[in-house]
Structure 1
């Protein structure tokens, strides 16, 4: 028995040793002597100040961390001094892309150098001049009484807000640092202000939309974006955060801006942990939120609790909610399966299939550029603005149908009752007509295989009447 015990001990020791060590061999001269360095990546939900991922300073001046044995596969990460405002940057103090490393089967030490820190490398070279003039900081210290904290809150208003006198839908977004401004964003911004302004200018967004973006709390981000605790990473304050949105922030916005406050004109959206809390908010408060955009959701953070919560909270009769899911196929091993499982749970809970859009992009990554690219299609599907310049409202035309949406190769177009033919035009987001043809009642299939992926506007003309439909090409 002793040889077997010895062999087991050796195997166990080999397993423990077969881990990866990250070592920073040099840091900028500006690094404070007492600074604690951290690694944040796709293995710890990009927490910039997780104590479990703090590096230890060595006598020779280097910094090291041996990653847990559970951290395997393709890693993306950056080094910080505890917050995204103090993330590493390049020699010119510009943002750098995610570092990448694939964990192998044996123990190894990987060396890195940090060239600069974002907050210590001199004046930032980016400029906020790219912000649309209709973006304002509502407050740098908006009170969050449910959490006993304050937070910066941004507001975007549509192009015609000052002159129209109209009321507008509202979309609430998390991680406000990343929504409008490249200077405050981590690894880029979503460009929501530019996107919505352009859609309005091109006639692809007839109603316009107010966007309210709430900054994340840095070290409190994981706590606030999950109502359930993860033993390793935290969480558990998500309920208070959602109540802040519902009880404090939304009433303030509705009182001070010309909003359409009803549920069908109120949406919520976010990425990663922001996707988790957006789903939770929409399910918990169906009378408040009628649209939810869920980008690359971190459902792994509270998988069992979320599953039970969805089972306990089926759809509410008379309160349909639209859910838009999107992620990359290779973001992680669990991303797509868990996103599909949540979609299926919503369907079992009574949500209509027509109210669920489920998108998996082959090239998608857990990154701002991906969410920026996917935002226009998500926004247009969620809010489905009224058809611009229609001679007759489309709801007055029985029989009209354009499906599926999103579409792959063939778009089915069913002409309104009484129309024997129509002129069909399809335009891209620049207003350029990319497909034009005649259409007869018996010809219901339109080949869109050659269209690039993105959002399109379909127009049908018959005599003096024009109707439009928006769709997304996968």
Structure 2
């Protein structure tokens, strides 16, 4: 009898352990993944792209406008970072932006349509790849190689295989946090490629070189610059954004081509960025 009770106790403990393990794994998303939320007009390009000089590959996700296959016109293109978070809850780190739903709605209400090219981040390499400046804590800068991927590899592929308006006026780049930092760098260092920028909650804190680089590479007057952050993102975010605004204004950038927006109560998350996406696109592309 005593042996039977001991065996039953061991069995119960084992079952409880399995249940606990399953619960933990489920919470980590390893058993029950979130269902996909991407719209049907979102796809993953059939092969990854190699980052020049880094021997790393990146997945690229593509949004095509509604009814693209049955139309003949060409479209402006928006390049975005952290592609996992742009369209789909199943791949997002925390939450998605909902860019596909936002643009599908905008197409219905305004008739304006866009192509979006979203480049996945590199996980452990994200901080390095999304900055062109070295950081003592996070290590070497690999942002220049990442921008080569976009400018020299991905953009030519997109322009050659899809109906794009490839000129600078119709090419935008957008990102948040570290993606905001590399976006800022992109429009100041590739003015012949990108004519519009959506810079959300930029990580200007990562390197003070962003300010000296902005002084060195004054933007073209025609650049449309939309910088957004939340009031609850911390004093550092507000101070850095204010500093950048003063710098760009001091350079004489036309006020009608720059917009610094503070969202009351906004925090550093996809709710802020996704919720502000349509407003940014409407301002950048002058949709009234």
Matched, 1:117 2:24: no
CA distance in 1, matches of 2:271, 2:219: 33
Q: Identify which of 21, 26, 35 aligns with 1:127.
A: 35
Matched, 1:199 2:110: no
CA distance in 2, matches of 1:330, 1:165: 45
Q: Identify which of 163, 166, 170 aligns with 2:77.
A: 170
Scaled by the length of structure 2, the TM-score of the pair is 0.89
> Between Structure 1 and Structure 2, which shows a larger proportion of helix residues?
2
- Structure 1 stretches of 4+ with a deviation exceeding 6 A read none
Q: Identify which of 358, 367, 382 aligns with 2:269.
A: 367
Q: Is the 8 A contact 2:134 2:207 kept in 1?
A: yes
Larger Rg: 1
Aligned CA distance change for structure 1 residues 320 and 235 (closer, same or farther; 3 Å): farther
What do the CA deviations read for 1:360-397 (whole angstroms, capped 9, x no partner)?
A: 11110001111110111011111124xxxxxxxxxxxx
Q: Paired residue for 2:229?
A: 327
**Count of matched residue positions in the alignment of Structure 1 and Structure 2:** 270
Instruction: List aligned pairs for 1:428-443, cutoff 5 A.
Output: none
Q: Paired residue for 2:155?
A: 250
CA distance in 2, matches of 1:308, 1:188: 34
CA distance in 2, matches of 1:222, 1:189: 19
Q: Per-residue deviation at 1:145?
A: 2.4
Q: Paired residue for 1:187?
A: 94
Q: Per-residue deviation at 1:184?
A: 0.5
> Between Structure 1 and Structure 2, which shows a larger proportion of strand residues?
1
Instruction: List aligned pairs for 1:126-275, cutoff 5 A.
Output: 126-128=34-36, 130-139=37-46, 141-202=48-109, 204=110, 206-275=111-180
Q: Paired residue for 1:56?
A: none
Q: Per-residue deviation at 1:92?
A: 8.4
Q: Per-residue deviation at 1:140?
A: 5.1
Which sections of structure 1, spanning at least 5 residues, go unmatched?
1-27, 32-89, 94-115, 386-469
Q: Per-residue deviation at 1:235?
A: 4.4
CA distance in 2, matches of 1:167, 1:359: 30
CA distance in 2, matches of 1:320, 1:344: 18
Q: Per-residue deviation at 1:142?
A: 2.0
Secondary structure, in 3 states, of the residue corresponding to 1:325? strand
Scaled by the length of structure 1, the TM-score of the pair is 0.55
Q: Is the 8 A contact 2:75 2:115 kept in 1?
A: yes
Matched, 1:309 2:200: no
CA distance in 2, matches of 1:180, 1:131: 5
Aligned CA distance change for structure 1 residues 339 and 91 (closer, same or farther; 3 Å): same
Secondary structure, in 3 states, of the residue corresponding to 1:279? helix
Aligned CA distance change for structure 1 residues 342 and 269 (closer, same or farther; 3 Å): same
Q: Identify which of 236, 252, 262 aligns with 1:350.
A: 252
Q: Per-residue deviation at 1:29?
A: 6.2
CA distance in 2, matches of 1:235, 1:383: 35
Which sections of structure 2, spanning at least 5 residues, go unmatched?
1-18
CA distance in 1, matches of 2:168, 2:76: 9
Matched, 1:278 2:183: yes
Secondary structure, in 3 states, of the residue corresponding to 2:267? coil
Q: Paired residue for 1:16?
A: none
Q: Is the 8 A contact 1:146 1:243 kept in 2?
A: no
Q: Per-residue deviation at 1:117?
A: 2.5
The higher-RCO structure (CA 8 Å, 6+ apart) is: 2
Matched, 1:339 2:247: no
The root-mean-square deviation of aligned C-alpha atoms, in Å, is 1.8
Q: Is the 8 A contact 1:314 1:350 kept in 2?
A: no
Q: Paired residue for 2:282?
A: 380
Q: Paired residue for 1:70?
A: none
Q: Per-residue deviation at 1:133?
A: 1.2
Q: Identify which of 199, 202, 209 aligns with 1:297.
A: 202
CA distance in 2, matches of 1:249, 1:375: 23
